[in-house]
Amino acid sequence: MWSTFYVQDEERGAPGVGGPSQGPKAAMTGGGRGKTKRRAHGAAAGSASTPEGGMSDSLEGKVKLAFFVAVVGIVLSVLGVGTEFWVELAPAKSLSTNNTCVVAHYGLWKCCMKSLWVADVDPERESCGPADLPGESNCTFFKFFTTGENAVLFQKTTDKSLSVAAGLLAICSLFLMVMGAVCISMAISKRVPFFVKPASVCFTLSGILILLSVIMFHQSVLALLASDHTVPLHHELSWSVSCVSCAGTLLLIGGILFLLLALPYSPWQKCMPNKDTES
């Protein structure tokens, strides 16, 4: 009778017997729930570090690299625009008196007349200069920005319209550089990629304007030389123009890089798709 009772009890699934058989399933179910919770927690942590619509770490690094290129262009632009070594004008050494000769160099805002010793000039050089030789210098600002008067250099008259246009283009370019730098600073600090788009426009336009300023300045120099042919002058573009030209090129490159980073897709992956994605 007792054996029959035990057999019926086992067939009914008593708690003492059926419990261990359900233990592994319960453990597996509990482990799956734990993994699901951990995955949800990790996803929440990832979304907290990179919010939806925010800037990822890789994009932030690329933006900083492109901003470094633009900053170099900004520094070169400020250095070139603020100096007066855009062009050098030098008469022939045969016109010199008292063992001295005069060379002129000017930029967008200021003109300098410098007296040099003829003995310091290279004997093989036909004209006076260069302007970096030691000598007495006298610098004055152009009056066509204030009173509208033209400047006279070696009996030649400047074209104030071209000079003023070159200066205004340079000022507009500097303003756009500042606006682009503010946009990139906001994008990096707030981790918002939206500001990269207006920054690309600002830096691209600033590069174009600063290069147009160089072209306009060169036209003003040619107009100065053509105003009077009684005194032949040797003209040479100096290092300030080189700085501004390099700055305009770097600003254009920075603007193009920002434009590529602001696109919703990768141009490289669009042009060169992966073979795995095609298959």
Would you say residue 270 lies in a domain?
A: no
Looking at the chain, the whole-number percentage of residues with pLDDT higher than 70 is 75
Structure tokens at 264: 């919703």
In a domain, 52, yes or no: no
**Contact yes or no for 104/233 (Cβ under 8 A):** no
Would you call 46 exposed, middle or buried from its count of C-beta atoms within 10 A (0-12, 13-18, 19+)?
exposed
Residue 110 lies in a domain: yes
Query: Do 200 and 183 form a contact (C-beta atoms < 8 A)?
Result: no
Residues 6+ apart with CB under 8 A from 228: 155, 156, 157
CATH code: domain of residue 168: 1.20.140.150
In this prediction, residue 16 has a pLDDT band, given cuts at 50, 70 and 90, of very low
Cα-based distances in Å from 33 to 11, 27, 28, 146? 32, 10, 9, 79
Could you tell me if residue 15 is inside a domain?
no
Burial class (CB in 10 A: 0-12, 13-18, 19+), 213: buried
CA 279 – CA 264 distance, rounded (Å): 23
Q: Tell me, yes or no, whether 251 lies in a domain.
A: yes
53-98: per-residue pLDDT in tens? 577 888 888 899 999 999 999 999 999 999 999 999 998 887 777 7
Domain coverage including residue 157: 57-263
- Give a yes or no: residue 108 inside a domain: yes
Segment 139-192, tens digit of pLDDT? 999 888 878 888 888 888 888 899 999 999 999 999 999 999 999 999 898 888
Domain assignment present for 22: no
Count of domains for the chain: 1
What pLDDT does 265 receive?
A: 62
Q: Residue 246 CB: number of other CB atoms within 10 A? A: 15
Confidence of residue 109 (pLDDT cuts 50, 70, 90): very high
Whole-prediction pTM value? 0.75
- Say how far apart CA 235 and CA 221 lie, in whole Å: 9
pLDDT at 41 over 60: no
Assess if residue 225 is contained within a domain. Answer: yes
CA distance 79 to 76: 5
